Chains A and B, each alone.
Chain A
């Protein structure tokens, strides 16, 4: 049986249903659990105990089990509708089929045209998208690509990204329902970047670059419409972010990087076009305009990045993505530093003592102190991740002195997939 708080009751019950249960033993207690006294928590347990005892011993499901789908997966259901372009947008928004931004109407002919971007069959199922457990076919991905304004040649990038997001270890289900401001990040490497005109230089992750923006919009439409990651009951993000509407999409600035690219570092060839996906928090800007040595630069980082700003250690999320601007990367390389030296130094310099938390010696913020750091004292230094290997370094963006980092949202991995198999 599960004890859930009032705020998570609806999400728990929907999760129950999408995992095939029509009923489950829940005891609902008042939200929140955190930031209240131990005595108050114990009193709440006492208040709930009779129900806990009864449900643990004698609960029975109220409804008979029945579930399943009642129609074919492909082709997807058609809708005949007369109205203006705005009426179509109203229809989609009111049915929960768009996030609030306008969509291009996914007509049969537009979807057929989009499907010319891949040799894969439209009825191929790529993923059952949590938390709604919507069945995602190639056809349905093309529908969302049309809605987001993508061109057919973008479709293989989206398919590769979806292949990555569907990996269980990526944990999209967690990202889709967390209280954090977590959304997908797509890093693109290789020839496809220039082939499609994916931005990797000035303002790459922002506005004005059609493939970046439309691919990011398509991916998040899929998470919202097919996956059902919708506030306030399923997407529990406390605040939300524009990253929930359009995913972060950018190429690596391979020509400005003094080091090998992220994809090559992870075993791909220079000639491979690769999409890497990771659930991330929005970027934090690191605007060091003054450092001229790696040592000065690291000092700046030590005040910008620390484990208290994020929850990854307690939740075991990883890896961090450090996105260096070319000027910062150049300064490090000029001093003879490679990625690995910077990674290790960054890991060393960004730790805080356990005493910085208000949670005693057993907890470091959101979770217990990991076994690897025990026995812990108030002076134990808590790193951003358990290993410097969980810090990824890459170069993107244009001129200027603004590097970034993405803290990891749910999932213990980033997934990298080749684009060519999806053409």
Chain B
């Protein structure tokens, strides 16, 4: 009911269709976390936006300083084409496959401008 709406019996009765429609979710279970990053492989994925690489570079340095045995891989140094916003599910799958090929235990991604 719109705000302040006063129903008047002389007004027309409308049989309308809700234009919003239903939504479709395919339930996905999040991957379990490893408990520790020690001796694990962390792949960092940059979306190509300004300064995201500098941010992730510093995160990578800190991981190497503070986590024994961790291996840090900057995905964009292996595959420059992944340093962009995915344009389709197919492209996203391609990025995921490249990450999997690197043996990632954990992926850290940067998003937004």
CB distance B55 to A57 under 8 Å? no
CB distance B88 to A33 under 8 Å? no
Counting chain B residues whose Cβ lies within 8 A of the other chain, the interface size class is 35 or more
Binds B, one of A64-72, A263-271, A282-290, A345-353: A64-72
Knowing A33-B51, A42-B54 are in contact, say whether A143-B90 is a contact too (CB < 8 A).
no
CB distance B88 to A412 under 8 Å? yes
Q: Which residue of B lies closest to A317 (CB)?
A: B87
Binds B, one of A131-139, A201-209, A247-255, A387-395: A131-139
Q: Which A residues lie within 8 Å of B26 (CB)?
A: 19-20, 67
CB distance A137 to B21 under 8 Å? yes
Map CB proximity to A onto B8-43 as digits: 1 under 8 Å, 0 otherwise: 110111111111111111111110011111000010
Nearest CB of chain B from residue A72's CB, rounded to whole Å: 9
Nearest CB of chain A from residue B15's CB, rounded to whole Å: 5
Q: Which A residues lie within 8 Å of B50 (CB)?
A: 33-35, 359, 363, 366
CB distance A106 to B88 under 8 Å? no
CB distance B17 to A314 under 8 Å? no
CB distance A87 to B5 under 8 Å? yes
CB distance A226 to B112 under 8 Å? no
Map CB proximity to B onto A176-187 as digits: 1 under 8 Å, 0 otherwise: 000100000000
CB distance A5 to B113 under 8 Å? yes
Interface of B is mostly: loop
Judge whether A336 is part of the interface by a CB distance below 8 angstroms: no
Q: Which residue of A lies closest to B106 (CB)?
A: A56
Instruction: Report the Cα distance A53→B34, complex, angstroms.
Output: 12
Knowing A1-B106, A45-B59 are in contact, say whether A108-B15 is a contact too (CB < 8 A).
yes
CB distance A106 to B25 under 8 Å? no
Q: Which B residues lie within 8 Å of A7 (CB)?
A: 112-113
Interface centre among B58, B81, B89 (most CB of A within 10 A): B58
Which A positions have Cβ atoms within 8 angstroms of B?
A: 1-5, 7-8, 12, 17-21, 23-25, 29, 31-36, 38, 41-42, 44-46, 48-49, 52-53, 55-61, 65-69, 71, 73, 75-84, 87-88, 90-97, 105-109, 111, 128, 132-137, 139-140, 143-144, 147, 168-169, 171, 174, 179, 221, 225-226, 314-317, 359, 363, 366-368, 370-371, 410-412
